[in-house]
Homo-oligomer: A and B are copies of this chain.
Amino acid sequence: MLDRARTDTQDPAIQYRQLAIEDINFPAHAFDVVISSLALHYVRDFPAVCRNVAACLGTGGDFVFSVEHPIYTADAAQDWCYGTTGERLHWIMDHYQEEGRRDTHFVGEEVVKYHRTVATYINGLLGAGFLIRQIQESQATAGMANGDSPHALDESRRPMFLLVAACTR
């Protein structure tokens, strides 16, 4: 994070801190913007994160983040339903309202994630005093259709990522 007190210098110092996201504890109004990329679905208590982020943002501060989409995290398999010849029939949607821990696999590793609904993301932000500015759901673009990535267009069959822009009042 970029400390506001340092932004007037030509070469502002960037501090790297190794700690749990839930444990951030910065001074009030310390930042103008908080950005998180594909991290918050590893955090169990999203409303707590919203409250902490709101506290360290000033008035009109921006909170912009991406997470794995609830459609993607609902079923722990996080996979397609395949036909007899291995074709992707459709995406498996199940357990949507069962929020909580998901033991998943990613590139050969076991990874713990936390599934929550779209409503929990949006209402968690609203409950911490944020205004919703825009949301987006990832999809394939025409340029993704090429031979190197035969399944690229499948990204439009279900969204993998949810992107949210919110701001403090």
A90 CB contact (under 8 Å) in B71, B93, B136: B93
- Residues in B with CB closer than 8 Å to A117 are 137, 159
Query: Which stretch of A36-44, A125-133, A142-150 is in the interface?
Result: A125-133
- Residues in B with CB closer than 8 Å to A126 are 132-134
A100 to chain B, nearest CB (A): 13
- Residues in B with CB closer than 8 Å to A91 are 92-94
Tell yes or no: A97 within 8 A of B by CB: yes
Tell yes or no: A123 within 8 A of B by CB: yes
Interface residues of A, count at CB 8 A: 33
Interchain CB contact under 8 A, A71 and B96: yes
A90 to chain B, nearest CB (A): 4
A97 CB contact (under 8 Å) in B81, B131, B159: B159
A167 to chain B, nearest CB (A): 11
8 smallest CB-CB distances across A and B, nearest first, come from A97-B156, A93-B93, A91-B93, A97-B139, A90-B94, A132-B132, A90-B92, A119-B137
15 contacts between A and B (CB under 8 A): A81-B92, A90-B94, A91-B93, A92-B93, A93-B93, A93-B157, A95-B157, A96-B139, A96-B156, A96-B157, A97-B139, A117-B159, A118-B118, A122-B134, A123-B135
